[in-house]
Structure 1
Amino acid sequence: MFSGLIEEKVDELAYVFNSPLVPVEVTINDDYDVYEEKGTLCCLGYPIARAFGRDSGARVEEGVGVVAGGFTSCGSKKNWVTQAKSGTVFRIEVAEKVLTHFAEKEPHYHFKAI
């Protein structure tokens, strides 16, 4: 249960995140170096790939299909990153309202509904 003080915000979030899922093809724009330090690389809040160390490589998360390119790990042993390879294209299903509300906030990705 949520406090009545935030009930309106909870309803708004439920509307956005519980909207129907739509398949999306995501291309990483060549102008950007897309990576996440010591963690999971996400797109629109959805986990995409995760490395566990510099030499571990990266594992693609469940529900993500890689069409081109891929993900890897790199950096130093202490400061490693999960990184998208140049030209990576992947497909995921996202909540429709998440796509329409948040896509412009992620300029390093190009989204195409499929």
Structure 2
Amino acid sequence: MEDIEKIRQQLISSKYSLGKDDILNEKLIHLENEISEDLVVVDLEKESIKIQFNLNENYYFENVKDIFLNFFKGDYTIKYYFNNESLLYSKFIWKNKELKKFNFKTKYGFLRCKKINKIEQVQGIAWE
């Protein structure tokens, strides 16, 4: 629980504590944070990818500090897979090998079994 309190205090006092809908690097990216006595939620949205940290109820509790720190260092990549400008799915990939098991895939729409003809890769954003 000490780690959670340290992260909570860092969010409250640090340069990472942005207000709702603050725009970063002139891209379609924004951060929302909500801080209360028993909950810290940080959401990052880029287009339709949403990353959420619920520090008190995180399923990956043993790695929450590493996830949090690597996220704010920008140590991740997002890959977008397209078919003729239509987004089929995206992958969120951690660069840290120890966090690879927390990579995830987001599918956009059901019954889209089309051939991928374009892949875009976006590097993580360092929040410094």
TM-score, reference length from structure 2: 0.25
- State the structure with bigger RCO (CA 8 A, min sep 6), 1 or 2: 1
Q: TM-score, normalised to structure 1's length?
A: 0.27
Q: Which has the higher helix share?
A: 2
| Higher share in strand | 1
